[in-house]
Structure 1
């Protein structure tokens, strides 16, 4: 199964087919699917977590979650879009776990490895202030977090996000707009 893009050995149609077969209990298809989506999942995790080892851990968690929750992909959109959300959630979960471990150890998380906002891209998703802003947003307005991350960090189109979160397109656009307004003041170096 050779794909059309240079780094991805499987086309989106082939990935969707593998996912359907894996949902039907085909273990070989599941293994092939996990192998095909691993590079994408790792890239998503690297976009959220600044350290490679942490991103690898999150990617592993994402692949486990994909294999366990594959039945929740409804086939309405691309499997890779659904996988993207699973990987984002795994990366954020890993971040929370690491932050809690550091806090329990008496480490002041706010002072450790604070990235320089002049040299660290918000779009790359490696700014710790962005992760903190998402944590704060999730506490107060959880409905905005996933659409905002999928749009502004990972650049998914609005219609794909709407399918993924199973919400009307207008609702998704409003959630992203309101989420941006709430997050903007929390980002260091932002007006």
Structure 2
């Protein structure tokens, strides 16, 4: 494609790719890559980590595009895939960091695993991971709303939930996250 597709062209590319059109899939992946990179960059500070999550998200799109049914906009589905990829990359980094910490103590803090440099984004990822262990149904709605800035109606469509349920889950997630984030604030 010679130009960046607009929203409707992107939706059409997604429909064609979901139908098995390999050229449409290739064009779709090229078109969405910069946006996916920006989305995961909101959650992962270190550029190499964001790039890894971007590639994982694009691979997930390529593998699962046939499962895109068009019940919501493609961009909404893509937000979900990108958010899941960023959280997965964060969990992998955290696990690697814990494995290496046993072997040696770093001389300098790693910006990918400390909130000193990364700020509230890593604190949020940590809090979301904690919340996901006890109330996993609350994580995706609050990420779609507060990180990806989707409106409530769109979240309801993506998750195939009633609007009231989405609002309730976001409220409960924020209530549960508040003390976790407050505990992470520097004193």
Following superposition, the deviation at residue 72 of structure 1 comes to 1.9
Residue ranges of structure 2 left out of the alignment (5+ in a row): none
Say what the alpha-carbon RMSD is for the aligned residues: 2.1
C-alpha separation in 1, matches of 2:73 and 2:19: 17
TM-score w.r.t. length of structure 2:
0.88
C-alpha separation in 2, matches of 1:71 and 1:58: 21
Residue ranges of structure 1 left out of the alignment (5+ in a row): 4-8
Contact 2:20/2:66 (CA < 8 Å) preserved in 1? no
Choose the corresponding residue for 2:174, options 165, 170, 180. Answer: 180
C-alpha separation in 2, matches of 1:71 and 1:39: 22
C-alpha separation in 2, matches of 1:27 and 1:42: 22
Following superposition, the deviation at residue 175 of structure 1 comes to 0.3
Deviations 1:63-92 (A, max 9, x none): 000011112222112101100100000111
User: How many equivalent residue pairs?
Assistant: 178
Contact 2:127/2:180 (CA < 8 Å) preserved in 1? yes
Choose the corresponding residue for 2:143, options 144, 149, 170. Answer: 149
Q: Secondary structure at the match of 1:105?
A: helix
C-alpha separation in 2, matches of 1:24 and 1:128: 37
Q: Secondary structure at the match of 2:149?
A: coil
Aligned partner of 1:94 in structure 2 is 89
Aligned partner of 2:32 in structure 1 is 37
Considering fraction of residues, name the structure with more helix: 2
